[in-house]
Structure 1
Amino acid sequence: MSSPGDAGVFDLSLLGWTDSLAADLPAGSVPGRIAQVHRGAAEVITAEGRRQARYSAKVRRAAAADPVMLPCVGDWAAVRLVVPEGRYELDGVLPRRTAFVRGGVSRDVRGGLSGDGQGQVLAANVDVVFVAEPSMHGTDLADLGRVERLVTLAWESGARPVVLVTKADMLTLGLHDLIKDVEGVVPGVPVHAVSSLRGQGVEIVRDYLGTSATAVVLGTSGAGKSTLVNALAGREAMETQQVRAGDGRGRHTTVHRELIPLPGGGLIIDTPGIRRVGLYEIGDGVERVFADVEDLARLCRFDDCAHNGEPGCAVLEALQSGALPERRYESWRKLQREAAWMARRTDARLRSEEQRKWKTIHKEMRKSGRNRP
Structure 2
Amino acid sequence: MSYDLSLLGWAGFRAAELPDGTVPARVSRVDRGAAEVIAADGQHHARYGARVRRASAADPVALPCVGDWVALKWLPEGRYELDEVLPRTTAFVRGGVSRDSIGGLSGDGQGQVLAANVDVVFVAEPSMHATDFADLGRIERLVALAWESGGTPVVLITKSDLFESGLDDLLADVRLAAPGVDVHAVSSLQGDGVRLVRDHLDGSRTAVILGPSGAGKSTLVNALAGGDVMETQQVRAADGRGRHTTVHRELIPLPGGGLVIDTPGIRRIGLYDMGQGVDLVFSDIESLAEQCRFGDCGHEEEPGCAVMAALERGELPERRLESWRKLQREAVWMASRTDARLRKEQQNKWKLITKEMRRSGRSRP
Alignment TM-score, normalising by the size of structure 2: 0.95
Counterpart of 2:235 in 1: which secondary structure? coil
Structure 1 residue 188, shift from structure 2 partner: 0.4
Counterpart in the other structure of 2:107: 115
Counterpart in the other structure of 2:19: 26
Within the candidate set 135, 139, 157, 1:143 is matched to 135
Structure 1 residue 319, shift from structure 2 partner: 1.8
Within the candidate set 88, 100, 103, 2:95 is matched to 103
Counterpart in the other structure of 1:49: 42
Counterpart in the other structure of 2:3: 10
Counterpart in the other structure of 2:342: 350
Q: Which runs of 5+ in 1 are unaligned?
A: 1-6
Structure 1 residue 362, shift from structure 2 partner: 4.7
Percent of residue pairs identical: 73
Counterpart of 2:108 in 1: which secondary structure? coil
Counterpart-to-counterpart distance in 1, 2:105 and 2:10: 40
1:231 aligns with 2:223: yes
Structure 1 residue 110, shift from structure 2 partner: 5.5
Say which is worse superposed, 303-312 or 139-148, in terms of deviation: 303-312
Within the candidate set 167, 174, 197, 1:175 is matched to 167
Counterpart of 2:204 in 1: which secondary structure? coil
Question: For residue 121 of structure 1, what is the amino acid of its counterpart?
Answer: V
Counterpart in the other structure of 2:263: 271
Structure 1 residue 323, shift from structure 2 partner: 1.6
Counterpart of 1:118 in 2: which secondary structure? strand
Structure 1 residue 234, shift from structure 2 partner: 1.0
Counterpart of 1:104 in 2: which secondary structure? strand
Counterpart in the other structure of 1:307: 299
Counterpart in the other structure of 1:4: none
Structure 1 residue 108, shift from structure 2 partner: 4.2
Counterpart-to-counterpart distance in 1, 2:215 and 2:75: 42
Counterpart in the other structure of 2:74: 81
Counterpart in the other structure of 1:245: 237
Counterpart of 1:117 in 2: which secondary structure? strand
| 1:205-220 → structure 2 map (5 Å cutoff) | 205-220=197-212
Counterpart-to-counterpart distance in 1, 2:247 and 2:103: 29
Structure 1 residue 367, shift from structure 2 partner: 5.5
Say which is worse superposed, 352-361 or 16-25, in terms of deviation: 352-361
Counterpart-to-counterpart distance in 1, 2:211 and 2:296: 35
Counterpart-to-counterpart distance in 2, 1:82 and 1:21: 22
Q: Which runs of 5+ in 2 are unaligned?
A: none
Runs of 4+ in 1 over 6 A off after TM superposition: none
1:40 aligns with 2:33: yes
Task: Give CA deviations for 1:26-56 in whole Å, capped at 9, x if unaligned.
Answer: 1111110000111111100000010010111
User: How much is the aligned-residue C-alpha RMSD, in angstroms?
Assistant: 1.7
Say which is worse superposed, 239-248 or 41-50, in terms of deviation: 239-248
Say which is worse superposed, 220-229 or 317-326, in terms of deviation: 317-326
Task: Give CA deviations for 1:164-196 in whole Å, capped at 9, x if unaligned.
Answer: 111010113111111111011111000011100
Task: Give CA deviations for 1:94-127 in whole Å, capped at 9, x if unaligned.
Answer: 0111000010112445654321122111000000
Q: How many residue pairs are counted as aligned between the two chains? A: 363
Structure 1 residue 324, shift from structure 2 partner: 1.2
Counterpart-to-counterpart distance in 1, 2:351 and 2:297: 40
